[in-house]
Structure 1
Amino acid sequence: GDRTGFGGRRYETVRLGSRSFDDAFDDYLGFLEPFLMESRRLLKPSGSLYLHLDYREAHYAKVLLDEIFGRECFVNEIIWAYDYGGRTKKRWPAKHDTILFYAKDPERNLFNADEVERIPYMAPGLVGAEKAARGKLPTDVWWHTIVSPTGKEKLGYPTQKPLGVLKRIVSASSPPGGLVVDLVAGSGTAGAAALELGRRFVLADRSEEAFTVMRKRFAGEAGVEFRGVEASSE
């Protein structure tokens, strides 16, 4: 390998100019570490980091985040549950991803609970008509479908995240007019959520396919510009 990663392990630089990231790195934490360290450096004291992973890497990534941010900066483990796709009969089917939520400074962290879109109670008859009509703040378990392969939201990027999930994160952890940064932006859903909610955004990615998708997604949007990449979408 040509670099030293988490725990002193060596890993190789991998060119990521493909349709999606290959999670089968020899040292996946070594791949993540520079992104996480730079993210922490960029955050304001009131800022937050959300890291989305599947069940195979989430627990290892939390150890790395505890080292970079400090265990006291851990806020939530969010379980994003969905019910889509095939089901194995050899074990419990895996139908969730993990989102780790860390604060730059827990004492100054911004969390806009009142800005988050409320959801229905599962048993509205137990809470009274007024509460049932208002709905409740989501907990740390989020039931939200994935982007359907045949749905209108699908952009052709294999790891595209649902707009609803990113809007919940952006509304909770950034102020109106604030800055949202995604260093592994993929299809640009974080930027789309920021744009819809009146936030500024910066998106970065090493994948040429990601930039092709993002160019199409943000075509015609006033104030959106691409830097460091060719202007052509070909």
Structure 2
Amino acid sequence: MAAQGSVSGSSEPVAAPAGPPVAEPVEATTAGSPVAEPVEAPAAGSPVAEPVEATTARTAASTQPALGAVEIVHGEALDVARTLPDASFTLVYLDPPFNTGRTQERHAVSSRRADRPAGTIQADRAGAGSGPESADASDSSLNSAVGKAATGAREINHGFHGHRYERVRELLHAYDDRFDDYGDFLMPRLEEAWRLLADDGTLYLHLDYREAHYAKVMLDAVFGRDCFLNEIIWAYDYGAKPRTRWPTKHDTILVYVKTPGGHVFNVDDVEREPYMAPSLVSAAKRERGKLPTDVWWHTIVPTTGREKTGYPTQKPEGILRRIVQASSRPGDRVLDLFAGSGTTGAVAAALGRDALLVDVSPEAVRVMRQRLPHATVREG
């Protein structure tokens, strides 16, 4: 075969045909190393491959469900429930008052220079609840103290250069969590929850040790004993520990379904958790994790976390996320009649569910509006 640039049998040079220049290698190759072929520029109009990172990010975003709609209703739970149509919710979550026998409070702590004249106060306000019990709970029958504001204890401390600083603990919001007959309060709301559930729906009733056993008897009467699904224990380790008995560090969540065997339960959608004894299972199982049992170890809402709203005894998003993932589908409707700080709505919307949040407290509605700016609000 003739060498490039000449014709066989001729000694005269022949010009190379017109065409694109041949790309020269950028670096000289070492002896014996393979020579990289030049990369041709894409033709005009041809698609250009995106970086893997950009494609992955866009794919992940496209798999996220659209933000669900949220409606906030300012009204008493039972009154609002009676206006809603039958079988209109796949999931009902009720977190009523726990009948703790004490006042649940939200405080703000302000710090200021005690030796400054009036009008020059600089305060650092931080909401503080009273613990994990009865989170997001309120009702008209116990809100005689709602909206009450009072100045609490003052503490004077000395700081730099002899300045005196004053810490003021102010009561922002309180409700009286005491009932003469808790059953009379709870029973009609459970009956409404049963009516509002769709045939494939599930009720989660969140209480603690004080009333959970009475509530289970009432739920057996309303739903039927064959509709009982689970007793979930939410265990946490926070707060004071008495020295005369075992510390009480759990809440009880009773789970009932409208139709035995016909309820929604998305076992593959629930976030899995690590094995408690990982050395006893295979590497594949350790990697996948296990389905949570009916005992949920989960911290309360951290006092400085992004979730914290300052509303008394707010529930953590992790607990509600597990409930919403398991017992509803994207596009389903979720109801919370004691919405409090709006945790149910925040989680449901993020997972593509629509939520109806009801609360009688103006303070709760204010907190929810701030937390859920896309929500609509109406009077019930």
What is residue 16 of structure 1 aligned with on the other side?
143
* Kept after mapping to 1: 8 A contact 2:142/2:175: no
In the alignment, what sits opposite 1:190? 344
Question: Identity across aligned pairs (percent)?
Answer: 62
Which of residues 260, 266, 270 is equivalent to 1:116?
Answer: 270
Quick one: distance in 2 between partners of 1:119 and 1:15? 38
How many Å apart are 1:21 and its aligned residue?
Answer: 5.2
The residue correspondences of 1:44-123 to structure 2 (distance < 5 A) are: 44-123=198-277
**1:172-227, Cα deviation, whole Å (9 max, x unpaired):** 000111111001111111111101111011010111111111011112x2xx2011
Q: Which residue of 2 aligns with 1:150?
A: 304
Structure with larger Rg: 2
Does 2:318 match 1:164? yes
| Contact 1:20–1:157, Cα closer than 8 Å, also in 2 | no
Shift of 1:90: 1.1
Unaligned runs of 5+ in 2: 1-139, 147-172
- Structure 1 pair 69/20, CA: closer, same or farther in 2 (3 Å)? farther
Change (3 A) 1:34 1:16: farther
Aligned-pair CA distance for 1:20: 5.7
**TM-score (structure 2 length as normaliser):** 0.55
The equivalent of 1:227 in structure 2 is: 378
Aligned residue for 1:179?
A: 333
Give the 3-state SS of the residue equivalent to 1:90 in structure 2.
Answer: coil
Distance 1:208 1:41 in 2: 27
Query: RCO (CA 8 Å, sep 6+): is it higher in 1 or 2?
Result: 2
Structure 1 residues 106, 150: CA separation in 2 closer, same or farther (over 3 Å shift)?
same
The root-mean-square deviation of aligned C-alpha atoms, in Å, is 1.4
Q: Choose from 201, 218, 230 the match for 2:372.
A: 218
Distance 1:58 1:158 in 2: 20
Query: In the alignment, what sits opposite 1:40?
Result: 194
* Structure with greater proportional helix content: 1
Give the letter aligned to residue 53 of structure 1: L
Distance 1:84 1:101 in 2: 25
Letter of the 2:141 counterpart: V
Count of paired positions: 214
Deviation at 1:32, TM superposition (A): 1.3
Distance 1:181 1:57 in 2: 22
Name the CA distance, whole Å, in 1 between partners of 2:269 and 2:259: 21
Q: Structure 1: 5+ residue runs without aligned partners?
A: 1-12, 230-234
- What SS is found at the alignment partner of 1:47? strand
3-state SS, counterpart of residue 131 of structure 1? helix
Counterparts of 2:324 and 2:239, CA distance in 1: 27
Higher strand share: 2
Rounded to whole Å, the distance in 2 between the matches of 1:204 and 1:21 is 17
- Taking the aligned partners of 1:15 and 1:126, their CA distance within structure 2 comes to 50
- Structure 1 residue 149, shift from structure 2 partner: 2.6
